[in-house]
Amino acid sequence: MWGTAGLAVAFVLSLIAGVLLAVHGPTDSSSAADSSSVTLQQEPPSSTEPSQVPPAPAKPDDGKEPKKVEKVALQSGDTLWKLARTHHTSVEVLQRLNGLGSSTLIYAGKKLNVPAGKTAAHPEQQQSPASASAHDRPSAQTAKPKTSEPQTAEPKTSRSAKSAPSTVIAYARKQLGKPYVWGGAGPRGFDCSGLVMRAWATAGVKLPRTTWDQIRAGSATTRGRLVPGDLVLSYGGGHVGLYIGKGRVIHAPRPGTTVTVAPLPAPADVVAYRHIRA
């Protein structure tokens, strides 16, 4: 009896197992392994996506032009050279800021563009020893500049053309040791153009007051044809010396010096040689 019952139970269990296999199917270990090895590939970026381009470096500032400017009222005696020192800039920058081109003419009562916030406290202490006196540079004019060249006055009939240079040089030698004076034309002191003007006046010849006008006085000559009494203009036309022969000049160099004898300036520093006819 128990043997028959055991067979019946075994048969039922086998039927149940068959039903379960039919419903779920066999377990395939290789499928599980395959499914575990599947990986997701990242989608390649679209070719239309813009690439990241590093920004171009900013162009460095060359420092030649001021970022801010201000206007100053010009007074009689002002010059581009003096204003350039006062505002820590150059004559060329002032010319560009004011559309002057290569001109150095400025007029009293007008306004001039200058770099802002750069005014010097004591500009007179900043003068370069090699620079010409500010008085000899073109200053602000109160009237329209003359368009014609200044004419050399006719010599006095009592003086001969041959003795005039000797008279001029003799006067200049008597001034040796006198101090440089801004705008001075004697007798206590001189600037460079004041000395030359006063020396030639003793020979009856009236020369212009500043180097910028003296550069057109008389007639042009050359270094090799210089004779005593000729004018030697240097440093861009801002300084003048009186030639006395043997490669030397008498001149008033700059503030803090005296009238002295010096060698001719180097040819590269000279802008004009002028022969004055008595």
Catalytic site includes residue 251 = yes
Using CA of residue 243, residue 205, residue 142, residue 148, what is the dihedral sign? negative
From the candidates 122, 135, 192, 275, which is the catalytic residue? Answer: 192
Quote the CA–CA distance of 226 and 272 in Å, as a whole number. Answer: 11
Catalytic site includes residue 275 = no
Residue type, 47: S
Catalytic site includes residue 192 = yes
From the candidates 87, 88, 122, 251, which is the catalytic residue? Answer: 251
Residue type, 272: A
From the candidates 88, 122, 135, 239, which is the catalytic residue? Answer: 239
Catalytic residues: 192, 239, 251
